[in-house]
């Protein structure tokens, strides 16, 4: 039987799949497993089911001579040194597709709540600050007909764009986005400067790579249409947070909705968390019961396939697998 390490509590149905092929060592505490403990645990492990919050670097991989697979329970995998894993003939997998709809839903929840001031009006009501209806009370921004700019036309970006149809919103994207064709959604592609000048709302859905880290920098933010809004449900490090804070304070950006931050967990007194024009959530893009169970099952099945000698379905480095 294989030794399998799981770094967080996951859906019971996924644990059962893993227990069918091995002995599971499960980290059950509410805090993340420390790198030191994880290194100790993987010394005899054949498989590792990891989270996006677990740094899987070459040092850790070197301490796991029996490791055959790292199954990340996330669509992203920037926490894993894939090149190092490939050199060591360790398969790396992720969980694409299953979190697309949940993340797109959250993007729209944040977008609507931000533009209509849902959180601030709710807080005012709870604090007894509502003294009755008036023409200028709790004014927000209308969503219908606004121009939605999508950065990253992958699965999630396209799902967000598709939802814009119901609001009769033109959707634009960067001409440099190398995603597949629009498939009838009607997305218009344009150069960066025109894109930023036209978008009323910019929604980030790009992966985190060396090229996209801090892509939303001071120049980007000050080139945006005055009064535009920024949404990020992708990766926190896409944004230079200091530059965003400046743009908000100077009124260049009307508001931001952030589900992710460069360094997580973020403190409750973080300048962006407490900013009056920021709506922040604690990385809940995929946080539905249905999606988290599907993610866990997909990660578990990748491990089951690897333990059984088969190439995992979501293998990111298939070159390590010899048929």
- Which residue among the candidates 8, 283, 292, 301 is catalytic per the annotation? 283
Question: Dihedral of CA 173/151/141/241: which sign?
Answer: negative
Q: Is position 264 annotated as part of the catalytic site?
A: yes
Strand partners, 173: 150, 189
- Which residue among the candidates 40, 142, 264, 290 is catalytic per the annotation? 264
Residue in the block written with tokens 């946080």 = 287
Q: Is position 283 annotated as part of the catalytic site?
A: yes
Q: Whats the size of the chain, residue-wise?
A: 323
* CA distances, 99 to each of 66, 75, 250, 289 (Å): 30, 8, 35, 11
- Which residue among the candidates 235, 252, 292, 301 is catalytic per the annotation? 235
* CA distances, 32 to each of 28, 43, 48, 58, 274 (Å): 9, 18, 15, 19, 25
Q: Among residues 147, 171, 146, which one has the least CA distance to residue 159?
A: 171
Backbone angles phi, psi at 50, to 5 degrees: -110, 165
Residues 48-84 as b or e (16 or more Cβ within 10 Å = b)? bbbbbebebeeebbeebeebbbbbbbbbbbbbbbbeb
Task: Give catalytic residue positions.
Answer: 235, 264, 283
């Amino acid at each position: 039987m294989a030794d399998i390490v799981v770094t967080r509590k996951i859906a019971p149905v996924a644990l059962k799949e893993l227990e069918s092929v091995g002995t599971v060592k499960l980290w059950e505490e509410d805090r993340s497993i420390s790198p030191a403990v994880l290194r100790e645990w993987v010394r005899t492990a054949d498989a590792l089911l990891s989270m996006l919050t677990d740094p899987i670097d070459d040092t850790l991989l070197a301490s796991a001579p029996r490791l055959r697979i790292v199954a990340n329970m996330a669509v992203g995998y920037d926490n894993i040194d894939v090149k190092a894993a490939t050199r060591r003939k360790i398969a790396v997998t992720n969980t694409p597709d299953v979190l697309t709809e949940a993340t797109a839903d959250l993007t729209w929840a944040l977008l609507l709540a931000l533009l209509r001031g849902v959180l601030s009006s709710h807080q005012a009501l709870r604090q007894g600050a509502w003294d009755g209806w008036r023409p200028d009370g709790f004014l927000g921004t209308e969503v219908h007909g606004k121009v939605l700019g999508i950065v990253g036309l992958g699965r999630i970006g396209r799902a967000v764009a598709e939802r814009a149809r119901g609001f009769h919103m033109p959707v634009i994207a960067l001409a440099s986005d190398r995603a597949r064709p629009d498939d009838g959604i009607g997305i218009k592609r344009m150069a960066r400067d025109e894109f930023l000048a036209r978008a009323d709302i910019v929604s980030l859905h790009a992966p985190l790579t060396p090229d996209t880290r801090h892509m939303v920098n001071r120049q980007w933010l000050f080139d945006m249409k005055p009064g535009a809004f920024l949404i990020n449900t992708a990766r926190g490090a896409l944004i230079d947070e200091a530059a965003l804070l400046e743009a908000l304070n100077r009124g260049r950006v009307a508001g931001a909705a952030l589900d992710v931050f460069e360094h997580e967990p973020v403190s409750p007194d973080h300048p962006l968390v407490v900013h009056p024009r920021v709506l922040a959530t604690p990385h809940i893009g995929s946080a539905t019961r249905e999606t988290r169970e599907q993610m866990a099952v997909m990660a578990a099945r990748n491990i089951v396939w690897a333990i059984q000698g088969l190439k995992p379905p979501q293998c990111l480095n298939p070159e390590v697998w010899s048929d």
